[in-house]
Amino acid sequence: MEPQNPIIPSNTNEVGGGYIVKNLFRGLVDFDEKSKLRLVAAESIDTADNQTFKVKLKPGWKFHNGEDQTAASFVDAWNWAANAKNKQLNASWFEPIKGYDEVHPAEGDPKAEKMEGLKVTSDLEFTIELKKPVSTFKEQLFYDVFSPLPKAFYKDTKAFGEHPIGNGPYQQDGDWQHKVEFKTKKFADYKGDDKPKNGGVVFKFYNKDDAAYNDLVSDKLDIMYQVPNSMAGQYQNDLGKRAISQMFGGNTNISFPLYEAEWNKPEKVKVRQGLSMAIDRETIAKTALKGSKDAADGYTPKVVEGYQGGACGEFCKFDPAKAKELIKAGGGVPGNKVTLTYNADGANKEWADAVCNDIRQNGGVECVTDPKPTFQQARADITERRMKSAFRMAWVQDFPNIQNFISAQYRTKAGANDMEFSDKAIDELMDKADASKTIEESNKLYAEAEKKIIQEHMPSIPLFFDHTLAGYSKKVQNVKFDSFRQAIWTDVEVKK
């Protein structure tokens, strides 16, 4: 899919852009195939209290333009991204750092240009001081927003977004051909351990995933990370051993615009819960989706650290009688109709049609789908708060922990909180989880928050836990996928 925005790590929070960012940039840490944290650009990240971290960088790393990567490359990038005047989608990721509130106040202009909690102590060392301990902060540093940026970025940020300069294994090759492709090539001076075994990756953008699939089976496209749902029952026959099916840390939900007064009325919680109970997830997963997804019982997928079954309780169980009862008790659906918006250039039509059909038949509510031609168009309407009814919301983990599925989407003013859900008590519970001394304790509290969000508010309806249904052509080999649904691009080999 064509990325929603120019390629700037702090302003990319969707899959299309994320795939490119992940190849052009490398941060302090990442996760291996088994989701185990490991150091990348960092030589060490030390902390005794989960509040103050001392970072030491590996020497010799460079950006694609030859500039040396230094401690300032990280600190300056983070300060710029956090600053409210720069309006970055992922700015809220810096909220735990001391001084964030001065560079990103809730209202008005910034009162400072730099966060007090970031200090460069040498060319290759800097410290991070948080407002309070955060048990998963080292894991959070994996997310793209914590990428470093070269000095060239600040000279012309708009031009940089079209011609990004990273420090990763691949660099841009030529101009970005919008709606066609984004081409990369191997970066010869890359210092990471995962040096590419191929010459580069070309990211192709399709308006229809069926067209991409046709190119895959005819060896015109080498890797497809998600085959169309319509091919879920056929792709293994078409591709044989070149078909891949495995669970990953991703989900599919439908969300509601709580910034619309009608949807934010307290009694509409019952309506959303009723709509949820009208949906027969198990049957849709087995029939319309042919096993490409599992029925969800919460927001956090089963393969993610911190998952605890049954977060949704009875509200994710198919019960048409209770569904109608709840919808009626909540005063019915605003406007007497649900409109479900999704992007038609992804594998969404089958489940969206099936969900709407269930809402009509089992909930007694009119439901229509509103397919937007491209992911970009759908995301623009969502991020600019133009939604009036239900919309697709999918999430692929930024790091493999329950915290990422709850805090990033349901904390007040979180960057991916497209519903504008807000609840002070749940924010405080998440704060308590972040301050836990161990990840195990944090996971337990986040599971409690997840349960409260769904069973007391249900700003979005959990639908499915997603699978990677991928395939590759006869021209490549050694194709593997991680729990982020990312091919391990640097390991892919082109057959000779």
For residues 67-96, average pLDDT: 96
User: What pLDDT shows up at residue 398?
Assistant: 84
Average pLDDT over residues 370-376: 92
- Cα 492 to Cα 186, 249, 310, distances in angstroms: 12, 22, 38
pLDDT in tens, 466-485: 889 999 999 999 999 988 88
pLDDT for residue 162: 97
pLDDT score recorded for residue 233 = 86
User: So what's the pLDDT on residue 114?
Assistant: 97
Per-residue pLDDT at 122 exceeds 90: yes
Catalogue the E-assigned strands of 357-473.
366-372, 391-396, 460-472
Domain 248-467: give its CATH code: 3.10.105.10
Is the pLDDT score of 20 beyond 80?
yes
What pLDDT score was predicted for residue 437? Answer: 85
- CA 384/CA 140 separation, integer angstroms: 26
Rg (CA), the chain: 22
Give the per-residue pLDDT at 472.
Answer: 98
Confidence of residue 290 (pLDDT cuts 50, 70, 90): confident
| String of DSSP letters for 147-174 | ----THHHH-HHHHHHS---SSSEEE-S
- Tell me: pLDDT of 34 over 80: no
Distances in Å between the Cα of 249 and the Cα atoms of 107, 305, 481, 494 are 34, 10, 12, 28
- pLDDT, one tens digit per residue, over 46-59 is 999 999 999 999 99
Locus of tokens 């399709």: 206
CATH node for 9-166: 3.90.76.10
- Mean pLDDT in residue range 197-212: 94
- Model confidence at 396, pLDDT cuts 50, 70, 90, reads confident
State mean pLDDT over 12-40: 91
Task: Give the amino acid at 303.
Answer: V
The encoded tokens of residue 159 equal 């031009």
pLDDT value of position 438: 87
Give the whole-number percent of the chain exceeding pLDDT 70: 100
Q: What is the rounded average pLDDT for all residues in the chain?
A: 95
- In the chain, where are the structural domains located? 9-166, 248-467
The DSSP annotation for 57-95 comes to EPTT-B-TTSPBP-HHHHHHHHHHHH-GGG--TTGGGGT
Residues 129-138 have pLDDT tens digits of 999 889 889 9
- pLDDT over 90 (residue 229): no
Q: Enter the pTM of the model.
A: 0.78
Length of the chain: 496
pLDDT band at 491 (very low <50, low <70, confident <90, very high): very high
pLDDT for res 430: 95
